[in-house]
Amino acid sequence: MKKSTEEQVGSASSGMGRRRAAAKDDGTAAYAERRAEIKAAAADLFKKEGFRGTSIGRIAQALGIDRATLYYYVGSKEELFDDVVSGAVRANVQVAEAILKGAAPAPEKIFTLITSLMDSYAEHYPFLYVFIQENLGHVGERRSDWSREMRALNKRYEDIAVQMIEAGVADGTIRAVGEPWVMAYGLIGMVGWTNRWFNPDQTPTDAAAVGMTFARMLISGIAVAPDALDGVGAVSSNDRRNDLR
């Protein structure tokens, strides 16, 4: 497939691409700060106009710079989006793996899984929300490897949630109110639905409180012991998440 002029200019093999790679390798504070500003502007547009509805030119316009300047910092909108999402999704799976391997009882593991996921949505706002809304079946050929990796990571996260619930059912701490996979998909979907209304800069309740509310609401319905979460939540969910990384 023939590349567009913009793709050719922004590609890693172009002159601009080589300059961009060298600047990233140098890792100056000013360069990193400018890339962060670009990511923030792109994030705002992705949320308002959708990923497919946002062009690299539109991002440049929002920043008040020309496209040539923007290409010095980023090769494409896909690069921006994929870099942020990949790191966040990998981190979420890493946190989930650590929770699964821990010694806490199943209700507490599920509590921590829910609160850590909500924290991640806020930390990486709105990239993970846009990721939820995107159809990975529509990504271009150049992003097929990224799409496959994201599908695999998503599946691993879902499997971890299922394993936590299965373990709780097996040891008698979780009531089998339905198939474990349905319960797991329900808890993940409950947090994901916040993409419709949560904004860390506008919503009066912060992500930690939302996550703990959801977690306690869910656990109170499926835990066998009514006091399963006594003492849980005294440490902030962000602190727990950082400890698990």
Answer yes or no: do 31 and 139 share one domain.
no
pLDDT surpassing 50 at residue 156: yes
pLDDT at 97: 98
**For 184-191, what is the mean pLDDT?**
97
pLDDT mean across residues, the chain: 85
Residue 170 and residue 137 share a domain: yes
CB 4: neighbour CB atoms within 10 A? 9
Query: Could you tell me which of 204, 206, 211 has the C-alpha nearest to residue 232?
Result: 211
Phi-psi sector, 198: left (phi>0), alpha (psi -120 to 50), beta: beta
115 and 232 share one domain: yes
pLDDT band at 1 (very low <50, low <70, confident <90, very high): very low
Among 40, 75, 110, where does a domain finish? 75
Looking at mean pLDDT, say which of 81-95, 127-141, 227-241 comes out highest. Answer: 81-95
Q: The domain containing residue 124 runs over which residues? A: 81-244
End residue of a domain, out of 33, 60, 75: 75
70-106 pLDDT, tens digit each = 998 998 888 888 888 998 999 999 999 999 999 999 9
Both 28 and 92 in a single domain? no
pLDDT, mean of residues 40-59: 89
pLDDT confidence of residue 28: 80
Shared-domain flag, residues 208 and 99: yes
Q: Are residues 146 and 188 in the same domain?
A: yes
pLDDT value at 26 more than 70: no
What angle do the packed helices 207-222 and 237-244 form, to 10 degrees? 90
Do 107 and 158 sit in the same domain of this protein? Answer: yes
CATH for 164: 1.10.357.10
Using a cut of 0.75, tell me whether the model's pTM lies above it. yes
The residue type found at 23 is A
Helix (H, G, I), strand (E, B) or coil at 160: helix
Lowest-pLDDT range, 94-103, 165-174, 230-239? 230-239
Instruction: Provide the domain count of the chain.
Output: 2
CATH number of the domain that residue 64 is part of? 1.10.10.60
pLDDT band at 141; cut points 50, 70, 90? low
